[in-house]
Chains A and B, each alone.
Chain A
Amino acid sequence: MARLLLLPDISAIGSFAGAYSNYDIANQSPRTGPFGPKDKPTPLFEEVELGLQSVIDPYARADIFISFTPDGVDVEEAYLTTLNLPAGLQLKAGKFFSPFGRLNQQHPHVWDFIDAPLAMQRLLADEKLSGPGADVAWLAPLPWFAELHLAGQGTNPSPSQPSDGASSERLTAVARLLQYFPIGDATTLGVGFSAARRSEATGAFRDLGGADLYLRWRPLYSRSYVTLQGEVFARRFSGSMSGELTDALPVLAGELGQGTDWGGYAQLFWRQDAYFGYGVRYDDAPTGPRYGAVGVPEGMEQRYSAIANWYPSEFQRIRLQAAYDRRPGGQDGVEFLLGLEFGIGAHGAHPF
């Protein structure tokens, strides 16, 4: 109908959660994902995402996603994508999720788990590495899918993390090489490498690196599939600052000598049929005072999660996620999340 009236496709996706944990997540395992206070089952409104999508003209299309959250309203993404540039090029311009890694480019309602991996939040961005700018993607003329992205964006990855330069959008260069290889009829292997450099202050940079792997096995005749997915993230603050800047930005100065922090996740997901799906995930992420954790010594935090999904139709998802979290110094705790998602309207199909 919308297409007959020249209206864009309009959709809304609502996400809600119920959270319970037996430890103080806010202080002991700082993150932005859904959680409540210790020992108190808490209902949470996560997000309503409003999508407006349409071609603009024969040369480009537009995708706009507006996010309503308890923090307010934000333009999550709003970008133009060219449709027919020559030589395999495609330009994306506007505000968009940076072409870095796999989950970072997906809207949370596409994720297999209710929350983001800890390492992604700690090392890449509180929410998403994203911002206004442009991304040129070149599809190499090869028999498999090989796409090279080069983007320049103003990003503000971690307003909550201790880096003084973080409070504003700063120029970030992002590069990503993504490849997909077919392995027989039923299996596809995706491999990606990403790198980014953000200017933090004169002479100081935040360097980000990432590698991601995606293996999907789905017999052609079946709705059932199995995916194995993992990403590693690395972050380092590099460069040197003048004495004056060091005095003005003490936290950033402190980060400069800290070397590279690593983290990642690996997950396995089994979509049993049209109605049920199950997954397990392993998280490994740096923690400690530098990441805002209170009373947790510097080290690695591990989390083991399991999720069960029920899809009453293609437009609803009800899920239960349980996790066991283990922090340095022998601390541990359990978390439960109950998630509800629904979508209405015409929402564009998601890329693989």
Chain B
Amino acid sequence: MTSFVILKRVAPLAAVVLAALAPRPAAAALKVVTTTEGLAAIAREIGGDRIQVESLSRGIQDPHFVDANPMLAVKLRNADLLVDVGLDLEIGWLPPLVNQSRNGEIQPGGPRRFTAASAVQVLDVPTGPVSRAEGDLHPGGNPHFMTDPRRVAQIAAALAGRLTALDGKNAGYYAQRRDAFVKALDAARARWEAQLAPVKGAKIFTRHRTMTYFFDWSGLAGDGELEPRPGVPPPPAHLADLVQIAKRDRVKAISVENFYDTKSADVVSRYSGAKVVLIPGDVGGEPGLDTYEKYLDVVVRRIVGAIQ
């Protein structure tokens, strides 16, 4: 009975609000919501002023541990396209938000969901049985592929395709921006590869297994992670092992995303001489890094700088 009374009171208010907001103007920009700032930056490169882009997380956040804040579901409610990384990177927070949003088309596999991982060749796919005894593994493979500009170009191309499918009248615009972005990225890549050439084959440590794709592209090599297994904190014995490995293999750098603390890295650094390199975790990970190019520029420069 109480329910009916409340419903009666609310219905007129609901009608007014809905009427005000229901019809979407035909010329409105496509609302693109991404899970990370890196994906938002790529979407901006392709969509230009024909789309409105918003990222659910910020570049200074660890993308594994974003809060499933209902405020984010509000952003998803009217999303014309949700762009996520995939491979369970956002498993701890995105699914309840998508469910809360009532936006059925952005569910996994939906017409308004673009999962970036679907556009790239995935590495570190576990073979054989997967168990949490191996730590917090991503059963579908490593989701940290944004450190490889070749894969980012593939994502940009696939995203342009999806934007075109949703907004065909701007197909030419998206294609032109895609070409311009890929061209600029190719030029930047040539520059980065020149910077990387002198240190090719050098081995470094990372905090988490975040640099697999960077190694695949750059020719540097990972010689170990501070985490003995993904997501597992380093015990002293493991750090002692890393010190030995660092001395043996002349490891000169330990890259740590700036949302991690550097205590363990500092210990290994103190006893091995390898330098701790604090890098942004994504676009927006430091002030001023508002494009993909600026972000990777910093990553390449700092790592190369530490090795040389």
Complex CA–CA separation, A188 to B139 (angstroms):
33
Nearest residue in A to B90 (C-beta to C-beta)?
A: A349
Q: How close is A185's CB to chain B, nearest CB, in angstroms?
A: 8
Contact B96 A84 (CB under 8 A): no
Contact A218 B259 (CB under 8 A): no
Report which of A85, A175, A188, A274 forms a contact with B71, defined as CB distance below 8 A. A188
Report which of A175, A314, A344 forms a contact with B136, defined as CB distance below 8 A. A314
Q: How close is B122's CB to chain A, nearest CB, in angstroms?
A: 14
Q: How close is A250's CB to chain B, nearest CB, in angstroms?
A: 26
A118 within 8 A of B: no
A180 within 8 A of B: yes
Contact B139 A90 (CB under 8 A): no
Complex CA–CA separation, A90 to B99 (angstroms):
9
Q: In the complex, how many residues of chain B place their beta carbon closer than 8 angstroms to a beta carbon of chain A?
A: 47
Contact digits for A313-350, partner B, Cβ 8 Å, 1 yes 0 no = 11100000000000000000000000000001000111
B48 within 8 A of A: no
Nearest residue in A to B78 (C-beta to C-beta)?
A: A141
Contact A152 B3 (CB under 8 A): yes
Contact B96 A349 (CB under 8 A): yes
**Residues on the A chain within 8 Å of B74, using CB:** 139, 142-145
B6 within 8 A of A: yes
Contact B102 A88 (CB under 8 A): yes
Contact digits for B90-131, partner A, Cβ 8 Å, 1 yes 0 no = 011111100111111101001000000000000000000010
**Residues on the A chain within 8 Å of B107, using CB:** 55, 58, 83-84
**Residues on the A chain within 8 Å of B1, using CB:** 173, 197
Contact A87 B18 (CB under 8 A): yes
When A180-B71, A195-B2 are in contact, do A275 and B102 touch as well, CB less than 8 Å? no
When A143-B74, A221-B60, A314-B231 are in contact, do A351 and B6 touch as well, CB less than 8 Å? no
Nearest residue in B to A89 (C-beta to C-beta)?
A: B102
Contact B70 A145 (CB under 8 A): yes
Report which of A61, A348, A352 forms a contact with B70, defined as CB distance below 8 A. A352
**Residues on the A chain within 8 Å of B102, using CB:** 83-85, 88-90, 139
A220 within 8 A of B: yes
Q: How close is B188's CB to chain A, nearest CB, in angstroms?
A: 27
B73 within 8 A of A: yes
**Residues on the B chain within 8 Å of A190, using CB:** 70
Contact A175 B100 (CB under 8 A): no
When A175-B6, A349-B93, A350-B96 are in contact, do A141 and B259 touch as well, CB less than 8 Å? no
Contact B258 A221 (CB under 8 A): yes
Report which of B2, B71, B100 forms a contact with A173, defined as CB distance below 8 A. B2
Contact B68 A197 (CB under 8 A): no
Contact A1 B139 (CB under 8 A): yes
Complex CA–CA separation, A117 to B92 (angstroms):
27
Report which of B70, B71, B136 forms a contact with A351, defined as CB distance below 8 A. B70
Contact A173 B68 (CB under 8 A): no
Contact A220 B130 (CB under 8 A): no
Complex CA–CA separation, A151 to B94 (angstroms):
26
Among A59, A83, A222, A313, residue most surrounded by chain B Cβ atoms (within 10 Å): A83
Contact B10 A148 (CB under 8 A): yes
When A349-B68, A352-B69 are in contact, do A141 and B17 touch as well, CB less than 8 Å? yes
When A83-B107, A180-B71, A349-B68 are in contact, do A274 and B96 touch as well, CB less than 8 Å? no
**Residues on the B chain within 8 Å of A350, using CB:** 68, 96
Complex CA–CA separation, A182 to B139 (angstroms):
34
A245 within 8 A of B: no
Report which of A1, A84, A139 forms a contact with B100, defined as CB distance below 8 A. A139
Contact A218 B67 (CB under 8 A): yes
Report which of B7, B96, B101, B132 forms a contact with A150, defined as CB distance below 8 A. B7
**Residues on the A chain within 8 Å of B100, using CB:** 90, 139, 351
Nearest residue in A to B68 (C-beta to C-beta)?
A: A352
Complex CA–CA separation, A349 to B101 (angstroms):
15
When A1-B139, A141-B18, A351-B100 are in contact, do A180 and B6 touch as well, CB less than 8 Å? no
**Residues on the B chain within 8 Å of A81, using CB:** 99
Contact digits for A129-157, partner B, Cβ 8 Å, 1 yes 0 no = 00000000011111111011011100000
B232 within 8 A of A: yes
When A83-B102, A141-B18 are in contact, do A175 and B92 touch as well, CB less than 8 Å? no
**Residues on the B chain within 8 Å of A223, using CB:** 62, 65
Contact B233 A274 (CB under 8 A): yes
**Residues on the A chain within 8 Å of B10, using CB:** 138, 148
Nearest residue in B to A1 (C-beta to C-beta)?
A: B139
Q: How close is B120's CB to chain A, nearest CB, in angstroms?
A: 19
Contact A83 B99 (CB under 8 A): yes
Report which of A55, A85, A139, A150 forms a contact with B6, defined as CB distance below 8 A. A150
* A1-43 with Cβ < 8 A to chain B: 1
B27 within 8 A of A: no
Report which of B14, B65, B132 forms a contact with A315, defined as CB distance below 8 A. B132
Contact A313 B232 (CB under 8 A): yes
When A173-B1, A221-B60, A313-B232 are in contact, do A188 and B259 touch as well, CB less than 8 Å? no
Q: How close is A42's CB to chain B, nearest CB, in angstroms?
A: 31
Contact B2 A175 (CB under 8 A): yes
**Residues on the B chain within 8 Å of A59, using CB:** 104
Contact A182 B71 (CB under 8 A): yes
**Residues on the A chain within 8 Å of B259, using CB:** 221-222
**Residues on the A chain within 8 Å of B99, using CB:** 61, 81, 83
A-B contact pairs, 23 of them (CB 8 A): A55-B107, A61-B99, A83-B102, A83-B104, A84-B105, A88-B77, A88-B102, A139-B74, A141-B77, A145-B70, A148-B6, A152-B3, A175-B3, A180-B69, A195-B2, A197-B2, A220-B58, A220-B60, A221-B259, A274-B233, A349-B68, A349-B95, A351-B96
The 4 closest A-B pairs by CB, nearest first: A84-B104, A145-B70, A83-B104, A173-B3
- B interface with A by C-beta (< 8 Å): 1-3, 6-7, 10, 14, 17-18, 21, 58, 60-62, 65, 67-71, 73-74, 77, 91-96, 99-105, 107, 110, 130, 132, 136, 139, 231-233, 258-259
